[in-house]
Structure 1
Amino acid sequence: MIVCVSVVGHQNNPLYIQSFTDGDDALKLHHIVHCSLDVIQERVNNPKKSGSILNEAFLGLLYPTLNYKVYGYLTNTKVKFILVTTDLDVNDIDVTSFFRKFHAAYVDAVSNPFHVPGKKITSRTFARTVSNIVGSYGLN
């Protein structure tokens, strides 16, 4: 089950975060997203150590916790997508497919001529699209 998705700008500024749980877990999920930025930075700066290819957008499993698994995706413009799930045995193909759809929704949202680059995404259409993508995976 997907519990949180997030978009983080190239300067590590949060552009969008949506949690799909009750309000008590929201702060914990924000903390998990923030902590995952260090792992992404380490993988980008040390590609030989992490074993990932720098040109590859899907960063894979960033780290597991007791209750969550955190996955990352890096765009060409260094915008980071973070997915937090409670499903501890999810496969990478489903996560990659989710990130591709999420990336397409992000591109649609920032292509709006009224969107200011680098600012938070406040589009209700984007939020609805993200909710539909999460729902289409049957993970929410």
Structure 2
Amino acid sequence: MIVCVAVVGHNNNPLYLQSFSDDGNTLKFHYIVHCSLDVIEEKVSNSRRAGVNLNETFLGLLYPTEDFKVFGYISNTKVKFVMVTTDQDSRDADLRNFFRRLHAAYVDAASNPFHVPGKRITSAVFAEQVGNIVKSFGIPAPV
């Protein structure tokens, strides 16, 4: 189950963070997302040092915590997408599809002529799209 989704700008400024947890403690998700930025930067800089062109935007598992797993994705414009989940078994294909859909929703929101680049995304349409994407991935597979 997805408990948090975040979009972070290329200057590591938070553009959007939505918690889907029932406990109402969004501060811990801010902390988890903030910690994930270090891992994202490390993965990107390691690929540059190795001389590998980072064409793959899906970064995979950034790090696990006791209760959560944190996954990441980075766009060509260095906008970072972070997902925090409680699922122990997540398939890469599903995660890639989730991030592609989230990226597409972000592009739509950022393409709005009233959106100021680099500022928080306050669009209700974007929030609804993110909620719909999370709901479509939050349904457990039948056993």
TM-score, shorter chain, exceeding 0.5: yes
Partner of 1:9: 9
Deviations 1:88-115 (A, max 9, x none): 1111111100000000000000000000
Secondary structure class of the residue paired with 1:3: strand
Partner of 1:69: 69
Secondary structure class of the residue paired with 1:60: strand
- Letter of the 1:107 partner, please give it: V
- Letter of the 1:95 partner, please give it: L
Indicate whether 1:96 and 2:96 are aligned.
Answer: yes
Secondary structure class of the residue paired with 1:10: coil
Assess, with a 3 A threshold, how the Cα gap between structure 1 residues 4 and 53 changes in structure 2: closer, same or farther: farther
Within 5 Å, give how 1:1-140 maps onto structure 2. Answer: 1-47=1-47, 54-139=54-139
Q: CA RMSD in A?
A: 1.8
- Letter of the 1:20 partner, please give it: F
Which runs of no fewer than 5 residues in structure 2 stay unpaired? none
**Could you tell me whether the CA contact under 8 Å between 2:48 and 2:54 is conserved in 1?**
no
- Letter of the 2:54 partner, please give it: L
Deviations 1:31-78 (A, max 9, x none): 00000000000001012789x861110000000111100000000000
Secondary structure class of the residue paired with 2:138: coil
Secondary structure class of the residue paired with 1:46: helix
Q: TM-score, normalised by structure 1?
A: 0.93
> Shift in Å at residue 25 of structure 1?
2.9
- Letter of the 1:42 partner, please give it: E
- Letter of the 1:36 partner, please give it: S
**Could you tell me whether the CA contact under 8 Å between 1:69 and 1:84 is conserved in 2?**
yes
**Could you tell me whether the CA contact under 8 Å between 2:61 and 2:72 is conserved in 1?**
yes
Assess, with a 3 A threshold, how the Cα gap between structure 1 residues 15 and 48 changes in structure 2: closer, same or farther: closer
Assess, with a 3 A threshold, how the Cα gap between structure 1 residues 110 and 34 changes in structure 2: closer, same or farther: same
- Letter of the 1:55 partner, please give it: N
Distance 1:97 1:118 in 2: 25
Which runs of no fewer than 5 residues in structure 1 stay unpaired? none
